[in-house]
Amino acid sequence: MTANAFRLDGKLALVTGSSAGIGLALARGLAEAGAAIVLNGRDTQKLEQAAGVLRAEGLSVHTCVFDVTEGASVQAAVEKIETDIGPIDILFNNAGMQLRMPLHEFPEEDWHRLMRTNVDSVFLVGQAVARRMIPRGRGKIINICSVQSEIGRPNIAPYMASKGAVKMLTKGMAIDWGPYGIQVNGLGPGYFKTELTEKLVADEQFSAWLTGRTPSRRWGEVAELAGAAVFLASDASSFVNGHVLYVDGGVTATL
């Protein structure tokens, strides 16, 4: 196995929820490994701004605005991408959301919104892309899980439930689609500095607790997810299927 096994030249990757944060970092890492990227989001302006940043770095980037929680929108978008750009070789199901509050105060409508965004989207986009990959006999699908697929924290029970579901859906996809040459794995980020975690990073008490509990003794930087993303998307992981790779500084290894 050589370094060439990690190259993604000639591949097309769709990354959902990729106008900022972890999704944009994943897209950048894949593009730097040679892939052409399709960024996705619902805000056209933010998406084009993100694409402009990557294009300025000399990377191959396309955009596709669609709602990952609406089946018809997903089907139309996947068809458009494959018709206008090319076959999707790699899918990163990254779109997600977080809401923090005690479970007994959590509104029903927010529960359904969170599940649609975090779980339904993985099923809808994954299924739409897999239906295209199956006749081709190949493909890579990577679902973004979380350390909360394994461990919990107060006031995020619905998020934990959603990411636990994504973990098991990943395994189910691998079982059903593996015989068709499709590999489905999960990537489980720990605590990273992003736009969504700014308040937690600024919370001295929480940061002290987190860094004290994490063997690496610090927050993660989003660029540190790129290596694992490229591994799972490339031929280097050709016999890895149904696995969740945690990139968390060791936090899931501790009590």
| CB < 8 Å & 24+ apart, contacts of 237-240 | 237/183, 237/185, 238/5, 238/183, 240/183, 240/185
Choose, from 159, 180, 191, 246, the residue flagged as catalytic: 159
DSSP assignment of the chain, as one string?
--GGGG--TT-EEEESS-SSHHHHHHHHHHHHTT-EEEEEES-HHHHHHHHHHHHHTT--EEEEE--TT-HHHHHHHHHHHHHHT----EEEE-------S-GGG--HHHHHHHHIIIIIHHHHHHHHHHHHHHHHT-EEEEEE--GGGT---TT-HHHHHHHHHHHHHHHHHHHHHGGGTEEEEEEEE-SEESGGGHHHHH-HHHHHHHHHHSTT-SPEEGGGGHHHHHHHHSGGGTT--S-EEEESTTGGG--
Could you confirm whether 159 is annotated as catalytic?
Answer: yes
Q: Which residues have a Cβ under 8 Å from the Cβ of 76 and sit 6 or more positions away?
A: 66
Q: Which residue has the tokens 């031929």?
A: 235
Active site residues: 159
